[in-house]
Each structure stands twice: as structure tokens, then as C-alpha cells.
Amino acid sequence: MKVLESKFANEFLNMAERCFSMGWHERNGGNMSYRIRPEEVAEVRGDFTDKNPWVEIGAAIPSMAGEFFMVTGSGKFFQNTKSQPEDATAIVEVDGAGENYRIVWGLVNGGRPTSELPSHLLNHAVKAAATGGKNRVIYHCHPVNVIALSYVLPLEDAVWSRELWDTMTECPIIFPAGVGVIEWMVPGGREIGVASSEKMKTYDVIIWAHHGMFVSGEDFDMAFGLAHTVDKAADILVKIISMGGRKRSISSDDFRRLAKDFGVTLNEDFLK
């Protein structure tokens, strides 16, 4: 089977289109990766090339050795991903040491995988370990309200988690662990990848101050749904703050009652 006939590639491209339509991907902003299942790799392997050189990832990630990822390309526009998938995306293979990658499909007009590849692979490693291999999508975007809030709210996990939970009743059910926040960092390197992957041990959502959001999900729908929920909560929070601030709130005990009925465990640190 050709890569572009596969279910996973079509889901990847549909996700990119959906995310672009949300306004989260100006120009070449944002990136995405999917850890391809072995049986999906087997279906499309005949469409791969082994002619490309191995390139250093910039971080050693032994647990991702031998894995294949579909990724967006560096400098490529989400807007064009679905119409020009072979130009704008790639499938990369990680070598047996987890230190190098090579392009086995895509980026036919040259180029490199996303500049955030070290962040993506480090976070795949953390999430695969934390979920028994279930989580397969890492996704990064530039949503307006999250970025705006990062200039106003203190950059603390507890503040963001509680403020976002208290915008819409379903938020704590959708991200019960809360959200992690990291201060402004230079994008694209190992450092921001390591800082994010530390937070990803606890959370599925990381706020990159003055930059955007980084999320993990089992599949494309879950990753999109999580980013969408956080973006909507941030939108409501901007409105609350713009209207002069809260006049009332969901109480800590209300959150505990909600958690009990919906069978989720909320981070008690954020219920003080």
C-alpha cells in the first residue's frame, strides 16, 4: 500500500487541516508527530526508501529505537499539508541506538523534519512509558488565547490549572491532572524538549509561555480534543478577565464532587 492510501496518513492530514482551520497555525507555525504502529509500518513499507542518510536527533532516546514517526516538515505550512503531503510531511525511522533518524518517505523537495523533533521524540518516549504505549500523537500549536494569557497569568502550574478548570465544568474531567507551564525558552532544541518531557510525566498539556501549547494524546481525535478544550477554556478565561474578573467560582468541594461522579482523580494540589 502507498503511504497516502493508509488510514494513519489520512488521519494525520485531516488533523492538520482541522488544526489549521482553528487559526492555530499561522505561516509555518506548529508541528505534529504520530508514532506509527508496527502493523501500519508493515502495510506501507514497500513505499519507503533507504537511500537517505542518518542524521543526529540531538538527543539520545533509546526507548524510541526502531520506531517510525510521521511528522510535519520544518518550515512547511499546516495550510498546505493536506494538499501537498509528500512535500510537507515525512516519515522518519529512528536508528537502533535512538540517536539518529533518517527520512524514509516524504519531503520530496528537500528539507528536514520539524525543528521540534527532539521535543517530539523525548515526549513520545515519556508518554509511551507513562501509558503502556497507548499515546501516539504529540502536537504543538500557537493558539491566540493561551499565548495572550501567558503574558498575564503567573507562570505556575497551579494557577493555570485551577484558572482553566474554573472556566467550564468539563475541563477538570478532560484534563484532571491540570496543565504544566514552562517559562519562555528558545524553541527547537533539546533544552525545551527536556523541560517539556519532565512536565509530560505529570500532564498531557504543556503551556510554552509566549509561544503556544504542546499536547499528547492516544490518537488524533484525543490530541485535537484536548487542544480544543484548553483553547476554549483560555478563550473564556480571557473574557472573564476582560469583563473585570470573576464574580463567582466553582468551589474546591464542587470540583471534588464532580471528580467523584465522573470517576477522575483531580490533582489535590490545585484544590486548595
174 vs 205, which CB is nearer to ligand 2HA? 205
Q: Indicate which of ligand 2HA, Zn ion, none lies near residue 76 (CB less than 5 to 8 Å, by partner kind).
A: none
Q: Binding of ligand 2HA at residue 189 (CB under 6 A)?
A: no
The 101-130 site mask, x for binding ligand 2HA (CB under 6 A), equals --------------xx--------------
Q: Which among 85, 121, 116, 122 has a CA at the least distance from the CA of 213?
A: 116
Residue 12 Cβ, how far from ligand 2HA at the closest point, in Å?
17
Instruction: Rule CB under 6 A: say whether 33 interacts with ligand 2HA.
Output: no
- Nearest approach, Cβ of 29 to Zn ion (angstroms)? 6
Residue 167 Cβ vs ligand 2HA, minimum distance, rounded to whole Å: 25
Judge whether 146 and 22 are in contact, CB under 8 Å.
no
Q: Cell numbers at residue 194, please?
A: 527536556
Per CB under 6 A, 79 contacts ligand 2HA: no
Distance CA 254, CA 198 (A): 30
Residue from 22, 112, 147, 187 touching ligand 2HA (CB under 6 A): that is: 187
Residue nearest to ligand 2HA (CB): 187
Binding site for ligand 2HA (CB under 6 A): 28-31, 115-116, 140, 187-188
